[in-house]
Structure 1
Amino acid sequence: MRNSTKKILGVTICILLALFCGLAPLVKKGASGKSYVANAQGFGGNIEVTVFVDGDTITDITYEAPDETPSVGGVAMSNLKTQIIEEQNSNVDVIAGATYSSTGFLEAVNAALNEAGVVADGSNGSKTVAEDYEGTADIVVIGGGGAGMTAAISAAEEGKSVILLEKNSILGGNTARASSGMNAAETHYEEEQGVEDSVQSFIDDTMASGKNMNDPELVKVLAENTSGAIDWLDSEGIELNGPLATMGGLSANRTHRPVDADGNIIPVGSYLVDKLSARMDELGIEVHTNTAATEIIMEDGKAAGVKATGSSGNNVTIHADAVIVATGGFGGNMDKVTEYRPDLEGYISTNVTTASGDAIDFLGDLNADFVDLDQIQLHPTVVPTDGTLVGEALRGDGAILVNKEGHRFFNETGTRDEVSAAEIEQPTGNVWLIVNQDMYEGSAVISKLEKGGYLVNGDTLDDLAKAMEFDADATAALKETVETWSGYVASGVDEDFGREIGAVKTDLSSGPYYAVNVGPGIHHCMGGVKINTSAEVIDTDGNPIEGLYACGEVTGGIHGANRLGGNAVADIVVYGRIAAESAIEYIEK
């Protein structure tokens, strides 16, 4: 017994000596101080943050956020972590395009700091001041949304050196917010799913939606190249292989959508951004975020590079043989929106704030021509409190819209301008979009709306009506409306509004039910800089500006007076590739 006691005492003394001598530390290097854990709601789900502090200093921040999109929310949180630690300041701005992930992350960080009793106000931190930068590439791309990334990848895959400048601190732009899908005609997916479609039908639908204000040649090239764009995406490992859907104004189920590993339909935008940004990393494309272009460098009448400003005011100069502008629209800049459309003052926007229309200024300095700048689209299903977009494909799949009196009031799959106008005419304000459990199953879009707290629900229509705060008359009307709609689905004919029934996947005859309050919101700028079918920027004399190309929402003429849902993604991929091909051809000449 005495020997055992001696052994235990000896071991204890050795451990203590080891601790004092630093031979066997029990705390990992870098994990200095205490740690505090807090949680908050992000875009997709819970964000758990652990903040490490040593005295009043934040030494590290770790986080678990499995439901946030890696290339959007994930990158945003990583950038915020770096900024907070460098500046020792948790009172920083959210990142445009990742508002919910940023807000949740910052809420959790501040809750943890509050528990720690630490005030992180920047008093013991320092801002990093970036140096001026000058670089050279074959092609410089301005804008890191879907069009810019597509152009950059296409050029890099042909062996060209590419530098991409992005105003925001993350890539994605408005593309990250796209929810429904990509329109394409005569694709292998349509053939595999038995969908009859044609390029001419695509053209006809697009022209009709645009009130024939569209440039027919631009539309023709768009339609003819969508199948090839799908094939290109396939080759990049970006498969839009989910069940085909229809959108308002389409004459065929040509909206291509992605699915996750479990077969659930997921938002197309975040999926594209994830895949495209990963491909850019693989190709080693040089990217400068927090860098806003201010001027196109011109030499002998030809585009020869870009001047830009970094977030700390440093100058960035890129010399290049060709320039591709893919800065998006101006729907995030209400001053510009109301300049062209005073009647839209007061509407909420679905756009990221960095969609501010900078290119109108720096391209205008080059005498570039612009078309249809007053053609600004309202999307009919936008959450009025914060601009969250509710995907149009939900209506194509079978969701209905009812006003606060419980009645349907329009063809839900009409074009966006028509449905928005019908909503505005409702005497009771915003309206409700209703789905049921049949639609909820397999839809990551609806699931995210629920996680974000946007849905009300009920096992029965009476329960749903109560959650929507309907009175007795509206409740009775809602029940009659759904019963009538179910009958229309069974007969295949919408006798009230002539809605196409063929694509509907549920008749809403059984619950549980879910609803989200929606109304019109500023969504897309159909107008922009004038281009030709080679994506060359055209000046006010009708001539191409040599070495200068544009693609995506920064351009005008493709969508006319109203853009079809699903055509924006088609636009960014088709004309992003064309801009790269044209720039390469120009350089090699």
Structure 2
Amino acid sequence: MTSYEQILSPYTLPNGAALKNRLLMAPMTTCSGYFDGTVSQELVEYYRARAGSVGAIIVECCFIDPLGPAFPGAIGIDNDKKVAGLAKIANAIKAEGSKAILQIYHGGRMVDPLLIGGRTPVAPSALAAPREGAATPSMLSNDEVSALIAQFGDAVRRAIQAGFDGVEIHGANTYLIQQFFSPNSNQRKDEWGGSRENRARFPLAVLDITHRMARQYADDAFIIGYRFSPEELEVPGIRFDDTLFLLEKLAACGLDYLHFSIGTSLRASIINTSDPTPLIKKYVERRSQTLAQIPIMGVGGVVNMTDVQCGLDNGYDLMAVGRACIAYPDWTARIARGETLELFIDSTQQEALKIPEPLWRFSLVEAMIRDLSMTAAKFKPGVFVEKVQDDAHELTISVSLETDRLTDIELSAGPLDDVEFTSSFSEIRSRILNANTPHVDAISGATSQSEAVKKAVVKAMAKSSKARREEEGNDADAAKSYDVVVIGSGGAGLAAAIQAHDDGASVLIVEKMPTLGGNTLKASAGMNAAETRFQRARGIEDSKELFYQESLKGGHNKNNPQLLRRFVMNAPLAIEWLADRGIMLNDITTTGGMSIDRTHRPRDGSAVGGYLISGLVRNVTRRGIDVMLETSVEEILRQDGEVCGVRLLTDEQDELTIEAKNVIVATGGFSANSEMVVKYRPDLAGFVTTNHKGATGGGIALLERIGAGTVDMGEIQIHPTVEQSNSYLISESIRGGGAILVNQQGARFFNEMETRDKVSAAIIALEEKYAWIVFDEQVRAKNKAADEYIARGLVTSASSPRALAEKVGFESDVFLATLERYNDFVGRQCDEDFGRTTALRSPVNAGPFYAIQIAPGVHHTMGGVTINARTEVLDRANQPLTGAWAAGEVVGGIHGGNRIGGNAVADIIIFGILAGHHAAERANRLAISPTRRAG
């Protein structure tokens, strides 16, 4: 790869976010905000002009507290009113194709009292900055320190709400975060000062709350960077050893990049002036393996491509460009064309270069100069009172609405004296109000309560919208019209809705259950795909052809070849489709039937389903896609042989007719319909199911009524590892992570990584009809799903194998011998007993040790309606039913006689995207030529 190719090729950050190249625009003070820190339009246009060819723009530092601005014209993120203006900057940058990252800071003792109305600045200690005329700050109390950390968290939340792709924590330039770490500015004697460890607590706390806000409000693609100054001249002051200590601590907590803050990228030490070695070279030589995983960014003195290459040659991964981007808004495009640039600005070009007047007069810019526009109203304002039920209580909830937003949610009746209940209510209330939508993640441990509150808000919003339409003289019951109606809100339905919207269609999602997510919420293992960039980053060599052959073999060669080929070819594109929408599946494991690690899951090893639905729902919400919950589809309407709408029944028993050019059915399978299961497979009578109660096959019946054909209805998969007392699926990723299966005596009895049908048959063949999945702390630590099983009380644990055997009734000698023999196989990577060839990851020898009793349960119905590779539903003569599309488990033929673990999640996303695209494409054709009826 040439130097140009290396610099200009896409670069993947640790969280999976992809920059289009290794070049970023550095954060530079413009002094162009209004007096109160709000954003001016000229500042928006300044950033818009510089976006596009550069990988990302790091927007100038934004103060998080009214006492934090360190210079005139600084922009702020200190209250919610600032979000709208900052969103204009983020949108302008992203619209041009660059990532938008916002730098956040507090000036601390560097703040001039004149900038904060004559008030006294604050700092870790009451020590003035070593500069002429500096004010002596007030020392922050412990409570004030905690409050500031919370304010940094609020700033991160606002940055997310404004649409930024990430934040850069400004721990440099002698501002507050650096002041806490510096022995010069921090001479406290409490837990926030004194030792180097204590002085590091504040920056670590800011990083921790940044992660917490990102987990709660952002996509997994949200970028978190940290800027640092490596040394201080003062005595005492920060030295390079101190900086490495702090950076190692930060890296251990997780960062997506680090940003050197020095005047020139190859600057040597300002302390040891006799050593000319650039600090970046010292950094590269001394950093740990953990720190080496974090990309490092250089800045300073970068004007031409040779400067960039020099930086990369010395150890930087990314390069930030400052003044050159001011002088040349299209700087990246220019150097990509091979131009050699001089750092100057034509004095006549201020307007053309979109440089705000305050920045034009800023000293660094002046030295380069040479003479040569809210969401439309949709609610009727008022308070709407709704009664809903959670698992244990009837709740009365008051929902306040303005014309365009939720303003309050109050619990008017319910267990008001239950502290735990009211605490979780407060949290779900906060999530809904902050997001201005009920489609947010439920509170862990309070799912039923969360869903009840969300349901109340949905009902209130629907009533308010209807009241508004009536007030405006519109017929609230008149038939609405959409380009695409999506039936079902699991992964396939949500992906279809998002893609259809992005292709220009108006979209409605109809869901019969009270919440979005469908059966996808129960998915655990991951999403299979071959030849992805995440595999390449790990050095995993895979091929689509091998993926095809293994899926065909796993399906007993009964798969529809046309659908399976489309599935395999589109899988890596679907991984990227998700990544482009902030849903990163960049950790990789394997499942039974796969010979290579190709099961993509969240980077923390958590179950894929909840993570996937959270990300898809965020995307639905951002797009303003209409959603109707607790609404069943009674009939798909047709006219002249083409779909023309749907007839609905709401939870209020209101009948509605919706006109639609296309209907996408994504209602899932029928595993929860025991009568239907037994109809096709009498041998499965009495089996529990892992599916949610909405998986009843309703979509198949709807499509059959308009003539759809079906295929493979008797192909029903049972999953081998289901905890029977509550039908809870134990993810295949546990076995893929290195777990084993043993019988009640404590002996292995089969290859754990065989296909699900074969493992299930082996368990059923045991005398006891059940087995135990056994794993150790190494497996648990890499599979977050295991923590959920432990929290739910499904797991028996013990400090040693012998103690575990005693707890669950294994024959101790047999179990100990089993582990010894299996661990030997792992060491030799050869399973002589059962031929296991995958996921021999590590010996089962690190306590604590865990066991879960499992047996098979009905898990997936491979049969369903027939479609073609465009996802058009086919009639019994294999002809398209015009305007009817289907995706996900409602469809048959893709998986044949047995589904490979990880293929279902891929199926729903791949074919959901295709259905959304083709339905929107048809709607667009009809809009251009309304009389043309085409499939």
TM-score range, shorter chain: 0.7 to 0.9
1:49 pairs with 2:421: yes
Partner residue in 2 for 1:340? 680
Separation of aligned partners in 2, 1:295 and 1:584: 21
Considering only CA atoms, is the larger Rg found in Structure 1 or Structure 2? 2
1:305 pairs with 2:650: no
> SS at 1:413's partner residue?
coil
Q: Which amino acid aligns with 1:313?
A: Q
1:129-278 matches, within 5 Å, as 134-242=479-587, 244-259=588-603, 264-278=604-618
Separation of aligned partners in 2, 1:194 and 1:86: 46
Separation of aligned partners in 2, 1:550 and 1:31: 40
Q: Which amino acid aligns with 2:590?
A: T
1:475 pairs with 2:812: yes
Contact 2:415 2:421 in 1 (8 A): no
> Could you tell me the percent identity over the aligned residues?
40
Deviation string for 1:36-60 (max 9, x for gaps)?
A: 5447xxxxxxxx2039xxxxxxxx9
Alpha carbons of structure 1 residues 504 and 366: separation in structure 2 relative to 1, 3 Å: same
Partner residue in 1 for 2:781? 441
Partner residue in 1 for 2:821? 484
> SS at 2:562's partner residue?
helix
Cα RMSD between the aligned structures? 2.6
Structure 2: which 5+ runs fail to align?
Answer: 1-407, 432-438, 460-475, 926-935
Match of 1:77 among 449, 459, 464: 449
The alpha-carbon deviation at position 371 of structure 1 amounts to 0.2
Separation of aligned partners in 1, 2:875 and 2:614: 35
Alpha carbons of structure 1 residues 66 and 286: separation in structure 2 relative to 1, 3 Å: closer
Separation of aligned partners in 2, 1:167 and 1:197: 40
Contact 1:526 1:557 in 2 (8 A): yes
The alpha-carbon deviation at position 579 of structure 1 amounts to 0.6
Separation of aligned partners in 1, 2:863 and 2:414: 54
Contact 1:132 1:314 in 2 (8 A): no
1:368 pairs with 2:700: no
1:494 pairs with 2:864: no
Separation of aligned partners in 2, 1:155 and 1:85: 26
Separation of aligned partners in 2, 1:273 and 1:563: 21
Alpha carbons of structure 1 residues 189 and 290: separation in structure 2 relative to 1, 3 Å: same
Separation of aligned partners in 2, 1:443 and 1:358: 34
Alpha carbons of structure 1 residues 481 and 140: separation in structure 2 relative to 1, 3 Å: same
> SS at 1:552's partner residue?
coil
Q: Which amino acid aligns with 1:511?
A: G
Alpha carbons of structure 1 residues 466 and 63: separation in structure 2 relative to 1, 3 Å: farther
Separation of aligned partners in 1, 2:549 and 2:442: 35
Separation of aligned partners in 1, 2:876 and 2:813: 59
Alpha carbons of structure 1 residues 507 and 279: separation in structure 2 relative to 1, 3 Å: same
Q: How many residues align?
A: 493
Match of 2:854 among 511, 518, 537: 518
Separation of aligned partners in 1, 2:683 and 2:843: 37
The alpha-carbon deviation at position 35 of structure 1 amounts to 7.0
Partner residue in 1 for 2:243? none
Contact 1:72 1:172 in 2 (8 A): no
Separation of aligned partners in 2, 1:246 and 1:284: 36
Partner residue in 2 for 1:97? none
Contact 1:135 1:319 in 2 (8 A): yes
Separation of aligned partners in 2, 1:436 and 1:416: 22
Separation of aligned partners in 1, 2:914 and 2:529: 16
Deviation string for 1:173-230 (max 9, x for gaps)?
A: 1101101100001110111111111110111011101111110010000000011111
Contact 2:643 2:882 in 1 (8 A): yes
Deviation string for 1:341-399 (max 9, x for gaps)?
A: 11101000000111111122221111110000111100001111111111101111110
Partner residue in 1 for 2:718? 378
Partner residue in 2 for 1:330? 670
Partner residue in 1 for 2:621? 281
Partner residue in 2 for 1:428? 768
Separation of aligned partners in 2, 1:510 and 1:516: 17
Structure 1: which 5+ runs fail to align?
Answer: 1-27, 40-47, 52-59, 88-130
1:527 pairs with 2:863: yes
Deviation string for 1:295-342 (max 9, x for gaps)?
A: 111010001111121122211321111110000001111111111111
Contact 1:374 1:527 in 2 (8 A): yes
**Which protein, 1 or 2, shows the higher relative CO under an 8 Å CA cutoff with sep ≥ 6?**
1
Alpha carbons of structure 1 residues 434 and 65: separation in structure 2 relative to 1, 3 Å: farther
Partner residue in 1 for 2:634? 294
Q: Which amino acid aligns with 1:421?
A: A
Deviation string for 1:71-119 (max 9, x for gaps)?
A: 35677533424779999xxxxxxxxxxxxxxxxxxxxxxxxxxxxxxxx
> SS at 1:556's partner residue?
coil
Q: Which amino acid aligns with 2:850?
A: Y
Q: Which amino acid aligns with 1:196?
A: E
The alpha-carbon deviation at position 65 of structure 1 amounts to 11
Q: Which amino acid aligns with 1:80?
A: A
Separation of aligned partners in 2, 1:33 and 1:329: 38
Separation of aligned partners in 1, 2:881 and 2:426: 49
Contact 2:528 2:598 in 1 (8 A): yes
TM-score (norm 1): 0.80
The alpha-carbon deviation at position 159 of structure 1 amounts to 1.8
Partner residue in 2 for 1:13? none
Alpha carbons of structure 1 residues 33 and 192: separation in structure 2 relative to 1, 3 Å: closer
Contact 2:737 2:783 in 1 (8 A): no
Alpha carbons of structure 1 residues 235 and 406: separation in structure 2 relative to 1, 3 Å: same
